[in-house]
Amino acid sequence: MQKKRQEKFLDNRLFPAFMAAAETENFTSAAKKAFMTQSGISQHIARLEKQVGLPLFKRVAKHVVLTDSGKRLKKYIEDHCNQTEAFLGALREAYNGISGSVSYAMPPSCLSLPQFSHLLDRCKAYPQISLDITLALDADVVERVLTDRVDFGLVMEISRHPNLRYRHFHQEELILAAASPQMLNGLNENSVRELKTIAYPGVEVYFNRWLRHYYSDCHNLSFLSLPISGRANSIEAAIKMVEGGLGVSLFPRHSIQQQLTDNRLFELESEQLQPLYNDIHLVALKNYAYPQAVRLVMSWFSSSPP
């Protein structure tokens, strides 16, 4: 009998869910800590257990505790983080005199990513580096990179261009939110067409992906099929409009986590619904000799904690 092939790698995007569960010993608490749903935590841990090939948690009363394999994985992740910090410390020493301007463009929703604050903190150690940040949607970000108006960018979708290279940066969860649970009750293939939505720059990409994910059998259903009850020129304004009950909209979970915690917003929840994740990629020019300052800042996007 042919043996089942074991995974030869561990997906570090699954580490935040595991570490949150290991620290809280409760999947519900872990979901809040990691800005995920409880089902998302369970799925990430299940995928990690499949890669490891061994159970990582066992249930004790109302808690979950690490197995011996889980304890070893936790130490491995902690050691990995320590090694990363040591490497970055050595890198800072090596590039202590580095200077210059670094420009990049990204979607407005990226402002609320935990990584963004972490990157700004790192930049404080390099006072001779100046950041020039532009908020823009995917098409504009790509155009700015190609025309050398920015050094690199963050995008949600990959454009197959021969002069561009991409590197995965982050995975964010998309959720449908409203000012009350009643506005989301009973949503199905028919009622979704009557969903009064709040539009803001970039949400069309989110909605089309969400509709394909949950209503793939509904042909010709797209964001343009939905009635628009309000428009905003920023994600922050759209969140306020949804809070005010003017309609519903899709947001990355990290953008509205505080509103969810305070019960100012509510998300669509169902055991039948699988979480929808959106990948964010770093985009830059291929075969381009970037200055040291740009290379250093780009390296932060590869090593910033989840």
Specify the DSSP element, H or E, that contains 165. Answer: strand 164-178
Q: Give the tens place of pLDDT for each residue, 83-94.
A: 887 777 776 666
Last residue of a domain, one of 48, 83, 118: 83
Structural domains in the chain (count): 3
- Block residue for tokens 């969860």: 173
- Block residue for tokens 């009643």: 182
- Two structure tokens written together for 224: 């343009």
pLDDT at 116 over 60: yes
Mean per-residue pLDDT for 290-297? Answer: 90
Q: Does residue 6 belong to any structural domain of this protein? A: no
Burial, 96: exposed, middle or buried (Cβ in 10 Å; 0-12, 13-18, 19+)?
A: exposed
78 and 152 housed in the same domain: no
pLDDT bin (cut points 50, 70, 90) of residue 2 is very low
Rg (CA), the chain: 21
pLDDT at 103 over 70: yes
pLDDT recorded at residue 5: 47
> Which structural domain, as residue segments, surrounds residue 22?
12-83
Mean per-residue pLDDT for 128-157? Answer: 93
222 and 78 housed in the same domain: no
d(CA 202, CA 149): 21
Q: Does residue 4 belong to any structural domain of this protein? A: no
CATH number for the domain spanning 293: value is: 3.40.190.10
160 and 298 housed in the same domain: yes
pTM of the full structure: 0.66
DSSP code of residue 189: T
Q: Give the tens place of pLDDT for each residue, 5-29.
A: 455 678 888 999 999 999 999 999 9
Q: Give the tens place of pLDDT for each residue, 191-243.
A: 888 889 999 988 998 998 888 888 877 777 889 889 999 999 999 999 999 99
CA distances from 162 to 165, 166, 198 (A): 8, 11, 36
160 and 292 housed in the same domain: yes
